[in-house]
């Protein structure tokens, strides 16, 4: 049954919608945590340490964090795989161009695929920068996330990469949230306006919330 569902377009769209909502929930929590940087190094570093002790003593040190990471990896892989396969299926179904042009789609709709690629590349860079420290500038300091963040956004390229990725994220969320609602049967003619409004607000809040951190470092509010 699972294979039958997965092989269908409806099944793949459902997987993409559910995995997207899981990642969206994580992004909201992650953004709120990031904003703690405006309360100082002590507050931000304490929050980063707390993430590793969630669930103790029932859960061992970092077990909860690794569980969250595992869920996110599954969600990202499922989302990317279903999106890719649906895209290929769509191209195979329409091998030739339409005789008449379709109505012009929104900018977010036309850039969903490229936005997904940008975000995938950003995730890799973000992990190598602030988790492993592999590409970090200024000397990565394990256990000092506040200083590591300040180091990253003290470079022009760190700011450019992050801000471009967050703008892509906003467009992705704006279209993706509404699409997920339609796929899961939540959307209707009466609810469409409200769902689009929620999608716009979520996209705006996430974009502004994440970009606030590099802007804070660039302006000296965070230093």
Span 55-73, pLDDT tens digits: 999 999 999 999 999 999 9
Question: Which among 31, 126, 12 is positioned nearest to 79, based on CA atoms?
Answer: 12
Cα–Cα distance for residue pair 215/157, rounded to 1 Å: 13
Give the pLDDT score at 44.
Answer: 96
- 54-63, 77-86, 106-115: segment of lowest average pLDDT: 106-115
Place of tokens 């000296």: 220
Nearby residues of 53 by Cβ (< 8 Å), 6 or more positions away: 61
Residue 223 confidence (pLDDT) above 70 = yes
Section 141-170 average pLDDT? 94
pLDDT of residue 147: 95
Distance separating alpha carbons of residues 73 and 75, to the nearest angstrom: 5
Q: In the 3-class helix/strand/coil scheme, how is 84-133 assigned residue by residue?
A: HHHHHHHHHHCCCCCCCCCCCCCHHHHCHHHHHHHHHHHHHHHHHHHCCC
- Of the pLDDT bands very low, low, confident and very high (cuts 50, 70, 90), residue 94 is low
Say if residue 121's pLDDT is above 60.
yes
Closest to 9 measured CA to CA, from 98, 78, 80, 83: 83
102-111 per-position pLDDT tens digit: 555 555 556 7
Neighbours of 202 (CB within 10 A): 18
Residue 190 CB contacts under 8 Å (≥ 6 apart), including other chains:
none
């Amino acid at each position: 049954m699972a294979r039958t569902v997965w092989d269908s377009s409806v099944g793949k769209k459902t997987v993409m919608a559910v995995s997207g909502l899981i990642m969206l929930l994580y992004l909201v929590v992650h953004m709120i945590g990031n904003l703690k940087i405006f309360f100082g190094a002590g507050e931000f570093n304490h929050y980063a340490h707390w993430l590793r002790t969630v669930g103790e003593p029932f859960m061992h040190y970092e077990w909860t964090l690794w569980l969250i990471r595992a869920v996110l990896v599954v969600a990202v892989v499922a989302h990317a795989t279903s999106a890719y396969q649906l895209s290929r299926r769509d191209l195979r179904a329409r091998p030739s161009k339409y005789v008449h042009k379709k109505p012009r789609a929104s900018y977010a709709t036309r850039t969903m695929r490229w936005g997904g690629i940008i975000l995938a590349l950003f995730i890799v860079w973000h992990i190598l920068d602030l988790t492993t420290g592999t590409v970090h500038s200024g000397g990565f300091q394990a256990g000092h996330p506040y200083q590591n963040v300040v180091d990253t956004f003290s470079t022009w390229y760190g700011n450019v990469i992050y801000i471009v990725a967050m703008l892509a994220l906003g467009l992705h969320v704006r279209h993706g949230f509404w699409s997920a609602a339609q796929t899961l049967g939540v959307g209707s003619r009466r609810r469409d306006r409200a769902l689009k409004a929620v999608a716009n607000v979520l996209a705006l809040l996430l974009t502004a919330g994440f970009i606030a951190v590099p802007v804070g470092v660039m302006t000296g509010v965070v230093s």
